Amino acid sequence: MNLLIHLFIFLGTIHFAIFLIASTLLFVAAGTFLEAWSQSHLFASRWTYHNPLFSALLWGYLINISFSAIRRYPFKKKQLPFLTTHFGLIMILGGVLIKNQFGMQGVLSVTEGETRDSLLLPHTYALLVQNREETSCFPLNHLPPAFKIVEWIPHSEERLEGWIKGEWGMVIGLPPLPVHAYQDPLPLSLRTEEYDIIALKTDRIEEAKQKAYRGRPLLLILQETNGHEHLIAFDKEKKTLPESLYAVDQGFGGYLLKAHFADQELLTPLTFFSYPLPPHAKQEELKPRIKLLIHEKEEIALTYHPRGEGLKWPMLEGHTLVRFQPMEKKIPFKISYPHSEQEGDLLIDGQPISLRVNHVYEKNRYQFSLSHFSVQEGIKRVDLIVNYDPAKYLLTYPGICLLIIGILSFLIRRRYAP
């Protein structure tokens, strides 16, 4: 019993407070050093401010301030400024701990004409699994039993393969097309009755365009070193063929690239591969790759898509789609981006709002702010920062007010004390 009493007294003393303050200074110094050394705020925060030991420090402050106030019982009137200040600090710390545990901050991206009700939690890793009945998002440390991670690579790149796959060009209905390196004259890959095809791997795009046409209708397929492809048609005039992506059976049957040439529809299956890269210095820019073993019989390697925009790839004979992305969280609102001339005009549960830079909209303790606006191929897209703090009006803001009142009471009492 005496040991508990001594422990209670120590936890409320100035000595324990000094230990907590010194420990906090060490964490701050370590965070500053690690961020300067790694050039990565994410790396530094994971070892300091997001470290469980730092959360333990916050709990230590809460215990120290609480026990320090309780030790004054029975309370006296002259202790009111002291108690007010300490109670305000307890409320602020309680608000911080509740936000760390139950709050969230994420990014919600919505394109024009779209409605979304979920956001992505940055720098988290999850597997999106979709079947014909439902879509679920699992953190990597809580995957379904049928999914097993057999390989982890810290940094990688994913490359889509369209008309050229490896050393061969692929067009459905035609034999495989040999892919050549750039040479003069350009070698044919295939000649049909209606047209010729040349498939090349080269970065000399403009030179290849100038030397390719030979009087017959020609389809020129070019692939740069970085994997970017060009599909160019030569007939009466030279033109770049528009391509469209077609999801077979909503993606469960895979994906096709489509283009029209010589009154024909050209199709090729869209595939992908990923390859490892040297780890990047900044953790914010890392794109890990995982290799999954599903039902102990099928493997797939997936590269991380930090914006959750990559294609979902079919598995298990087209019964399941998967994508490696950040964790998704549902929010109790439906965010719509109607067709509008203003970039920040949105609908939240059907209610029109207008977000601008430095203008925040708040509803039910959720804050929405405009992060980024872009236009790609005529389609508008906005990125919103969504911040949820369940305790700020109940604890944090009232705690700040009490802290200010307590400090002012101290100053007034000292000034006018007899």
Q: Span 25-31, mean pLDDT? A: 90
Q: Which residue has the higher pLDDT, 279 or 332?
A: 332
Q: What is the pLDDT of residue 20?
A: 92
pLDDT in tens, 193-216: 888 888 999 998 888 888 888 778
pTM of the model: 0.85
Listed range (100-104, 108-112, 276-280, 397-401) with the worst mean pLDDT: 276-280
Q: Span 66-84, mean pLDDT? A: 86
Q: What is the pLDDT of residue 98?
A: 93
The C-alpha atoms of residue 267 and residue 246 are separated, in whole angstroms, by 10
Q: Where are the domains of the chain?
A: 2-103+392-416, 105-158+275-388, 163-269
Q: What is the pLDDT of residue 415?
A: 62
Q: Which residue has the higher pLDDT, 99 or 234?
A: 99
pLDDT in tens, 168-179: 999 999 999 999
Q: Does the structure show a pLDDT above 80 at 280?
A: no
